[in-house]
Amino acid sequence: EEFKKGHVENSLNVPFLFFTPQGKEKNTKFVEQVALHYYKEDNIIVGCLSGVRSELASADLIAAGFKNVKNMEGGYTAWVENGLVVNKPQANDEL
């Protein structure tokens, strides 16, 4: 749901964690889903709202053999605070 509220332009949403009524659950297919879109040699920047989950996700990708992974420190919040381009839903877009 965070992604739908706004995200970095041209980004791809592959959840590392799912938010459930029972709490947060790790996406056990995260690395597999990323591998559908990127080669292990590609440059990948991983982000989330604050940079904490993306740091964990980055570590999993590196452990899986992805070579050029960077965490977006401060996450989407820092991106917005620095006035960088974002995609946000329009008034008539579904949420």
Q: For residue 10, what are the contacts with CB-CB under 8 A and spacing of at least 6?
A: none
At position 34, the amino acid (one-letter code) is V
Q: How many helices (H) and strands (E) does the chain have?
A: 4, 6
User: Which of the four pLDDT bands, split at 50, 70 and 90, describes residue 95?
Assistant: very low
**Does residue 34 belong to any structural domain of this protein?**
yes
**Does residue 33 belong to any structural domain of this protein?**
yes
**Does residue 70 belong to any structural domain of this protein?**
yes
Q: Which of 44, 48, 57, 61 is catalytic?
A: 48
**Does residue 9 belong to any structural domain of this protein?**
yes
Residue 59 in tokens: 């570590």
Domain of residue 18, residue span: 2-87
At position 61, the amino acid (one-letter code) is L
Q: What is the number of domains present in the chain?
A: 1
48 annotated active-site: yes
pLDDT at residue 93 in the model:
47
- CA angle 49-89-28, nearest 5°? 45
How confident is the model over 34-47, as a mean pLDDT? Answer: 96
